[in-house]
Amino acid sequence: MTAQEDLAIVIPVWNLPEDLAFLLNQIADMKVFSEVIVADDGSDLDCNPISLGFSEERLGARLVYMRSDRQRGAGHARNIAFQSVTAEHTLFFDADDHLSEDFPLILRQHVAADALDFTIFRHNDTRIEAAEGRKGTFASEEAWWDEALGGANRKLLSLQERATLSPISAYPWNKIYRSAFLRDNQISCSETPVHNDIRLHWLSFLYAERVQATRRIGAVHVIGDRDHHLTTRRGVDRLCLGNIIAELTDQIRRSPGNQILMQRYILFVDNVCRWNLRQVDNHLLPQFTKMAVNTYLGFLPEEFRLYAYREPSRAAAIVELLLNEGV
């Protein structure tokens, strides 16, 4: 690790000591982190890195462990952990995901580019690898990477290219941030039961001026049968999505040059609303459908017209839903 590679890794954890130990082993082996901040979200199991055998000497980094008195969610854990970050750069990472072998190179390219707000990198989704035998993520998101980067493997993105990439899944762990960028723009996670990373993702794209993208895979997103995974959450806690979307809609609307980003934001909102409607328990569908309808109605007519111009079939499907609901 060089003096410039001053990177903190922020790790929320809840009842995953074995997964956390695997990630901490990777951190110890890579030796590219200057700070390791572990925020225990009120685990029943011992997730203290010291108990797991990881000292500052072994990690090669300053170690901070904090524990909430009760489970408050990953968003709260990330927010309180970030308050302890002193490093110039920050990576938010989930305890059960893995760093890839290319991550150290991605970090070197990030710091070499000078004063980036963030670098976004591709990831490998274990569902895709199992189903399709390839590394990467969903075909639609790979297409956005191709559209944004063209023939380049890495580039500084224009406003249009940033907008192109913005609707990808709002994961917190596919970006290396400049810590001061997050603080200066008061960017944080929402402290909600689910979807707490949507706010971090979209405010980053909204306020960033210098964004680098690289096709290199920096993380492995490990999906399995875990109670904490979003795909297993089918209850009313998903209703928090409506308030998250409303807050971000207002912030994007009030920002200069918002039209180009708003088009892509509506696409993201439509994707996440429809995904949620497929996930919830059947008896909750009326509540979630009402939430989705109110979300769509929250966009101004001129915003929706611009979206319809770019995505006519998707816009027609939204109108059909609204008509079916008697709007």
What's the rounded mean pLDDT across residues 184-199? 95
Range 242-254 burial, b when 16+ CB lie within 10 A, else e = bebbeebbeebbe
Average pLDDT, the chain: 93
Task: Check whether 230 has a pLDDT greater than 50.
Answer: no
What's the rounded mean pLDDT across residues 168-188? 96
What's the rounded mean pLDDT across residues 10-31? 97
Task: Check whether 263 has a pLDDT greater than 80.
Answer: yes
Task: Check whether 123 has a pLDDT greater than 60.
Answer: yes
Chain position carrying tokens 């039961």: 193
Least confident of 120-124, 233-237, 290-294: 233-237
Please choose, from the candidates 58, 56, 73, 63, the residue with its C-alpha nearest in 3D space to the C-alpha of residue 38: 63
Beta bridge partner(s), residue 123: 219
pLDDT band at 5 (very low <50, low <70, confident <90, very high): confident
Give the other-Cβ count within 10 Å of 19's Cβ. 19
What's the rounded mean pLDDT across residues 178-192? 97
220 phi, psi to nearest 5 deg: -115, 115
What's the rounded mean pLDDT across residues 47-59? 98
What's the rounded mean pLDDT across residues 39-49? 97
Task: Check whether 226 has a pLDDT greater than 60.
Answer: no
Confidence (pLDDT) at 236: 81
Query: In terms of pLDDT, which residue wins out, 17 or 227?
Result: 17
Task: Check whether 280 has a pLDDT greater than 90.
Answer: no
pLDDT band at 257 (very low <50, low <70, confident <90, very high): confident
The token pair at 62 is 């300053």
Confidence (pLDDT) at 3: 44
Strands 98-99 and 89-92: unpaired
d(CA 190, CA 198): 8
d(CA 289, CA 282): 11
11 phi, psi to nearest 5 deg: -125, 105
40 phi, psi to nearest 5 deg: -85, 120
pTM: 0.93
Task: Check whether 6 has a pLDDT greater than 80.
Answer: yes
Please choose, from the candidates 100, 66, 103, the residue with its C-alpha nearest in 3D space to the C-alpha of residue 82: 66
Contact 19, 95 (CB under 8 A): yes
Task: Check whether 151 has a pLDDT greater than 60.
Answer: yes
d(CA 271, CA 144): 15
Contact 118, 177 (CB under 8 A): yes
Range 155-180 burial, b when 16+ CB lie within 10 A, else e = bebeeebbbbbbbbbbbbbbbbbbbe
Contact 179, 83 (CB under 8 A): no
